[in-house]
Amino acid sequence: MNVIIVHGGAGTKRDLPERKKVVIKAVESGYKILKEGGSAIDAAIRATVILEDSQYFNAGTGSGLNIEGEVEMDASIMTNSLECGAVACIKNVKNPILIAKLVMENTDHIILSGKGAQRFAKIMGIRKYDPKTKKSKALYNKLMRRIKGGKGTRYFPRLPDFIKYYNTDTVGTVAVDREGKFAVTNSTAGVILKLPGRLGDTPIFGAGLYANEIGAVSATGHGEGIIQLCLSKVAVDLMKENNAQKSVSIALKKAKKYNVRCGLIAIDRKGKVGWGHTADAMPSAYIKNGKLTYKDWV
C-alpha cells in the first residue's frame, strides 16, 4: 500500500516556509523507506526524527520551555497490532521518539516518565543532549516578561496572553506499508510555559494517537482538550463506516464544538488519507502512489 502522511503541528503561521521544507523532507524520507520494502514503523520513526531534529518544531531540538525554563518532552508510537510505547516529561535527549520505540520493543511497560524515562534512555545507550536553542530561550524570556505584566491567556488564564507567540507544534506521522501494517507517532514538548510535570495528549493513547486494523490517527494542538475528547480514538472509530477524510472532518467538527484548537492526520485500511485542523495553520504533507501533496491551509 505504501502511504505516509506527516504534520508539523496545528498552531500558528510562524516560520511556514522553513517548516514546509522540513515537512517535505520528512515525508519523502519516510516514503523512501516504504518504497524500498521497509516497515511502517521504520518509515514513521525516520520522518519523526527529521522533524525532531529541526529547530522549527516544538519537539526534540527547538522544544519550547516550561515555566521554569526547562524542556520536558513527550513522544509515543503505536501500531495496528496495538503495540505501543511512550515517554513523558523526559529531559536531555535529542530524539524522544527513539526512546518511545525502545520502551515498546524492550520493556513490559507502555509509558515511562520523568527520571525513570531518562535513566532508561541512559541504560539503552542514548547520549545526553540539551535541546534548548537560542530561539527557544529568547521566546521564553519574552513570554516571562509578559507574565510579569499580569495579562490573561487562552490556555492558562493565570498567565499572560501569549497566544500570538505560543508554540503547540507537536509533530507526528502516520504510515502504512505494503503489508497493510500501520504505525503512528507523535512528539512534542507541549505548550510553552506549561507547569513542570504537565502531560499533554501526545503520550496518551486514544487521545494524541491511536491505531488498529481499521486505521491510524495522529493528533496535534491543545492537549487538554484532545484528551477530554479522546479525539484520535474517536476518529479511528469513525473509520468503521467512513473513509479517513470524512472521519477526520467529523472528529474536528466535534472538537470545534468544544472550542478545541487542534489538527488530525489519518490513513484508513484502504490507504485513503485524511487531514484537517481548527487552528491557524498545520503544515502537512503526504505521499501516495509516489505523488507528493503538501498543504498548510494558509
Q: Model confidence at 135, in pLDDT bands (50, 70, 90)?
A: confident
**138: Cβ–Cβ under 8 A, 6 or more apart, which residues?**
none
DSSP 278: S
Q: Is 59 helix (H, G, I), strand (E, B) or coil?
A: coil
Closest CA to 121 of 103, 148, 144, 109: 103
Phi and psi (nearest 5°) for 157?
-55, -25
Positive/negative CA dihedral, 122, 132, 20, 166: positive
Kindly list the strands in the beta sheet with 262-268, ordered across the sheet, starting from the edge strand earlier in the chain: 209-211, 215-221, 262-268, 273-277
Domain 3-295: which CATH class?
alpha beta
Q: How far is CA 208 from CA 130, 146, 168, 264, in A?
A: 25, 30, 13, 9
pLDDT above 80: residue 151: no
14-69 pLDDT, tens digit per residue, is: 889 999 999 999 999 999 999 999 999 999 999 999 999 999 999 999 898 888 88
- The residue extents of the domains of the chain are 3-295
- What's the rounded mean pLDDT across residues 142-146? 69
235-253 pLDDT, tens digit per residue, is: 999 999 999 999 999 999 9
The full DSSP string for 211-270 is E-SSEEEEEEE-HHHHHHHTHHHHHHHHTTTS-HHHHHHHHHHHHHHTT--EEEEEEETT
Closest CA to 97 of 45, 149, 152, 36: 45
Asked whether 6 and 284 are in contact (CB, 8 A), the reply is yes
Closest CA to 224 of 261, 180, 276, 273: 261
74-112 pLDDT, tens digit per residue, is: 999 999 999 999 999 999 999 999 999 999 999 999 999
Kindly list the strands in the beta sheet with 73-79, ordered across the sheet, starting from the edge strand earlier in the chain: 111-113, 84-90, 73-79, 182-188, 171-176, 3-7, 284-288, 291-295
Q: How far is CA 126 from CA 47, 52, 188, 189, 271, in A?
A: 19, 15, 18, 19, 35
* Residues, the chain: 298
Q: Which residues are catalytic?
A: 170
- Measured torsion, CA atoms of residues 28, 204, 13, 137, in degrees rounded to the nearest 10: -100
Q: How far is CA 54 from CA 13, 110, 135, 221, in A?
A: 17, 27, 12, 19
Q: Which amino acid is at 123?
A: I
Strands (E) in 106-223, as ranges, are 111-113, 171-176, 182-188, 209-211, 215-221
pLDDT above 60: residue 165: no
pLDDT higher at 49 or 130: 49
DSSP 107: -
With cell 524492550, the residue in question is 106
- What's the rounded mean pLDDT across residues 191-209? 92
